[in-house]
Amino acid sequence: MKNNKLTLTIFTLLLTIGVYAQGPPGGGGGRGGKGGGQRGGQPDASEIFSKLDANNDEVIDKDEASKDKRGKISEDFDEIDSNDDSFIDLEELKDSLENRSSKRKPKKVSPEKLIKEVDDNGDGLLNELEIAVKRKHELSENFAEIDTNGDSELDLEELEAYYANAKEEEPKRRKRD
């Protein structure tokens, strides 16, 4: 009887060690136990999304984003939420991660959000001082080009036209690279 218990204990111990040595299902081991995924340890968007979407409603709200251990999604929530609906969907998260990992690809810019962020005096227009204070270098460098009506202020229509043109020119620049 003692031999059976000893044999059973050893068998269980070996089986347990074998199972834990394989790591979690789906491979995610290695890299010091941090979330694997792709690109040298950076988890992919769907992996992050599934962890943060606690109520499974297919969007991440600000409360769910605050549970991001690194704090980057919560910190950059308004930037990631490119359509200004107060939620981050999977596509917005994917775009955000791609923009961070690829210096070439421009991030989506919402002219409405940009005006809200930069317009200190609340007139719905951006002047050079407001842009400089908020360190919007791209706007500062291209101010004269964007200000098509020459009134020394950028309005929503001018910003929309500028970013639409920049989006159209991006594929042309990539072909030259």
CATH number at residue 82: 1.10.238.10
**Residues 43-54: what's their mean pLDDT?**
84
What residues make up the domain containing 88? 38-101
Number of domains in the chain: 2
Asked if 123 and 158 sit in the same domain, the reply is yes
Decide: helix, strand or coil at residue 156.
Answer: helix
One domain for residues 123 and 141: yes
Confidence of residue 26 (pLDDT cuts 50, 70, 90): low
Q: What is the CATH number of the domain that holds 127?
A: 1.10.238
Global confidence as pTM: 0.41
Q: Is the pLDDT of residue 7 over 90?
A: no
pLDDT at residue number 148: 94
Whether residue 118 is found in the same domain as residue 160: yes
Q: Please tell me whether residues 133 and 166 are part of one structural domain.
A: yes
Contact 140, 128 (CB under 8 A): yes
Whether residue 117 lies inside any domain: the answer is yes
Confidence of residue 153 (pLDDT cuts 50, 70, 90): very high
Q: Is the pLDDT of residue 66 over 90?
A: no
37, pLDDT greater than 50 = no
